[in-house]
Amino acid sequence: MERVYVVDTTLRDGEQSPEISFTPDEKVRFAQQLARLGVDVIDAGYPGLGKDDALAVSLVAQEVRGPVIMALARPEEEEIGAALEALKGAERARIHLYIPVSRIQLRHMLNIGPQEAMERTMKALDMVKNRDVEVEFTLEDAFRADRGFLLEMARAVTDKGVDLINMSDTVGGALPSQIARVISWLKGELGEGAPLLSIHCHDDLGMATANSVAALEAGARQFHATIGGVGTRAGNAALEEVVMALKLWEEDLGLVTEVETQEFYRTVRILTAMTGVMVQPHKAIIGKAAFVHKVESHLMAVVKEKSTFEIVRPEDVGYPRSPMVLSKYSGRLSFEDKLRELGYSLDEERLELAYQRFRELVEKKREIYDEDVVAIVEDVLSRRPGAFILQDFFISSGMGQEPMARVVLLQEGETKEAASKGTGPIDAAFKAIDQITGFTGRLLSYSIKALTEGKDALGEVVLRVRLKGEEVVGRGVATDVVEASIKAYLDAVNKVLEGE
Ligand code: MN
């Protein structure tokens, strides 16, 4: 068996999706879950982008143990400096340098030719030489590059002693057969003792998983992927799909990863609760319907012999066999049990807060599902010092009546109150909040969904808002949709405050 190394890039490429953003604290908590999942490398972010990104990578580097922590940089002194600085404190650190190698991207993105790209690369690799970090070099848009230049670059970075060469299908346009051909050709050309080859695939044609597996079959030994396939444009290869494909065909392929596949369920739950990103019901491995059999004949067969229609067993990816539902009869012990099962460990104070929220919820809702518990815990964990907390609100609206909202907020023990009219009750409530905070938010998107079945389900609001020149995502959960909306808006406001 040969080992395949897994790079999770949910926190970097995933965050390049317009739908997703993490606060530094969320990055740390998600990275801790990735460590439990057993990925080899966490692509934590791009410190060169600004101080928030640098801070997030640096917190991950200091607090997360187990996986290698990786940070991205262009081959420029300033960005390399920022990445190296942010990686201080990591148990094992890796800098990830990249440059396009296709003519089209060199010309139209960087306005340089191959010669200049080579020079920048060589200079950058000299800067990271003798630093105590691993070096991964990405040949961006590799599958649209001239073979001659691709090989020239691969040889040059090999001579400079990089640890890995990552081949990126940056535009997601390649076919599995093409990827396989290029990888096995390159591996042959580089010969013995060459750096490990890695693959980074995008899903613009829906082939990122197939392409990643093809690259591994052809000789790559590392792949980049994200949970649920989130990422730039159409996203990246879905980590859980590639891992499960390798696992299912382990004997044939002779390839293994060290991913704890039973952690997939938890990981996805945490990601969706943190970002509000929705997983389509029929999504492979992690979709809600992925293990549900509706066709009677299939169901009958599965009861007799699971493998008739299940190639992946739900328990292998951490789906609870029979989801334990909590209710008002559940005490503190079963609540704590559930938290452990979902992968949370909270300090005393937060545990108490979460339990109180749980008691409040069972008064309103008969059955408490995992989604509800995750929502409560994520809500409690996202509380920040100095944040505005919703204390009370009052709404009036009706046909032919001008909607009005009064909102009472609490900030560091101080009560603040405002009232406003609006085009609707939610608009009125947001305007009242703006009066209190002094910010004017512009709502860019707004979505609401029920977290579970039933009329008493928790409503989850995810919105994107432009506040003080920043675009932030806010998330709020409550049985009352207006309350959920107000909480989501406050979440966004609090994120902007935290960033100051
Ligand atoms: Mn990418």
407: β partners = 393, 418
Token pair, residue 98, equals 């990249």
Q: Give SS3 for 449.
A: strand
Distance in Å, CA 267 to ligand 1 centroid: 21
Beta strands at 470-478 and 459-467: parallel, antiparallel or unpaired:
antiparallel
Distance in Å, CA 463 to ligand 1 centroid: 25
At 326-374, the pLDDT tens digits run: 988 999 999 999 898 888 889 999 999 999 999 999 998 888 888 889 8
What does the alpha-carbon distance between residue 7 and residue 4 come to, in Å, rounded to a whole number?
10
Find the range with the poorest average confidence among 76-90, 316-330, 482-496. 316-330
Decide which of 3.40.605.10, 3.30.160.270, 3.60.9.10, 3.40.50.1820 is the CATH code for 388-498.
Answer: 3.30.160.270
Q: Cα Rg for the chain, rounded, in angstroms? A: 24
Which residue shows structure tokens 């998330």?
475
Question: End-to-end distance of the chain based on CA atoms, in angstroms?
Answer: 50
Distance in Å, CA 233 to ligand 1 centroid: 9
Distance in Å, CA 258 to ligand 1 centroid: 23
User: pLDDT over 90 for what percent of the chain?
Assistant: 73
Distance in Å, CA 89 to ligand 1 centroid: 26
Amino acid at 150: L
Distance in Å, CA 232 to ligand 1 centroid: 6
Is 209 in contact with 226 (CB distance < 8 Å)?
no
Q: Could you give the residue ranges of the DSSP H alpha helices within 69-112?
A: 77-87, 103-105
Give DSSP secondary structure letters for 110-176. Answer: I---HHHHHHHHHHHHHHHTTSSSEEEEEEETGGGS-HHHHHHHHHHHHHTT-SEEEEEETTS---H
Token pair, residue 418, equals 């405002």
Mean pLDDT of the 479-498 span: 92
Total-model pTM: 0.89
Distance in Å, CA 237 to ligand 1 centroid: 10
What does the alpha-carbon distance between residue 84 and residue 2 come to, in Å, rounded to a whole number?
31
- For the chain, what is the mean pLDDT? 93
pLDDT of residue 303: 83
462: β partners = 447, 475
Distance in Å, CA 152 to ligand 1 centroid: 22
Token pair, residue 295, equals 């066709």
Q: In what order do the strands lie in the sheet with 470-478?
A: 442-450, 459-467, 470-478
Mean pLDDT of the 293-309 span: 85
Mean pLDDT of the 266-287 span: 88
Amino acid at 262: Q
Distance in Å, CA 170 to ligand 1 centroid: 6
Distance in Å, CA 166 to ligand 1 centroid: 11
Q: Could you give the residue ranges of the DSSP H alpha helices within 325-367?
A: 332-341, 348-364
Residue bearing the bigger pLDDT, 370 or 237: 237
What CATH number labels 2-275?
3.20.20.70
Is 222 in contact with 166 (CB distance < 8 Å)?
yes
Look up residue 16 and give its DSSP letter: G
Which residues, in sequence order, are CB contacts of 418 under 8 Å at separation 6+?
406, 407, 432, 433, 435, 436
Distance in Å, CA 182 to ligand 1 centroid: 19
Is 236 in contact with 9 (CB distance < 8 Å)?
yes
Which residues, in sequence order, are CB contacts of 496 under 8 Å at separation 6+?
439, 467, 468, 470, 472
At 5-52, the pLDDT tens digits run: 999 999 999 999 987 889 898 999 999 999 999 999 999 999 999 998
pLDDT of residue 321: 59
pLDDT of residue 4: 98
Distance in Å, CA 353 to ligand 1 centroid: 39
Distance in Å, CA 93 to ligand 1 centroid: 20
Domain boundaries, the chain: 2-275, 291-318, 323-381, 388-498
| pLDDT higher than threshold 60 for residue 211 | yes
Token pair, residue 81, equals 């400096």
Angle separating helix axes 332-341 and 370-381, nearest 10 degrees: 90
Token pair, residue 228, equals 């649920």
Q: Give SS3 for 400.
A: coil
Distance in Å, CA 69 to ligand 1 centroid: 17
pLDDT of residue 319: 82
Please state the length of the chain: 500
Q: Which residues surround ligand 1, an ion (CB under 5 A)?
A: 13
What does the alpha-carbon distance between residue 240 and residue 228 come to, in Å, rounded to a whole number?
7
Distance in Å, CA 206 to ligand 1 centroid: 14
At 56-71, the pLDDT tens digits run: 999 999 999 999 999 9
| pLDDT higher than threshold 60 for residue 76 | yes
pLDDT of residue 322: 57
Amino acid at 180: A
421: β partners = 404
Distance in Å, CA 167 to ligand 1 centroid: 11
Q: How confident is the model at residue 323 (pLDDT cuts 50, 70, 90)?
A: low
| pLDDT higher than threshold 60 for residue 79 | yes
At 462-478, the pLDDT tens digits run: 898 999 888 888 989 89
User: pLDDT over 70 for what percent of the chain?
Assistant: 99
pLDDT of residue 469: 86
At 402-436, the pLDDT tens digits run: 999 999 999 988 999 999 999 999 999 999 999 99
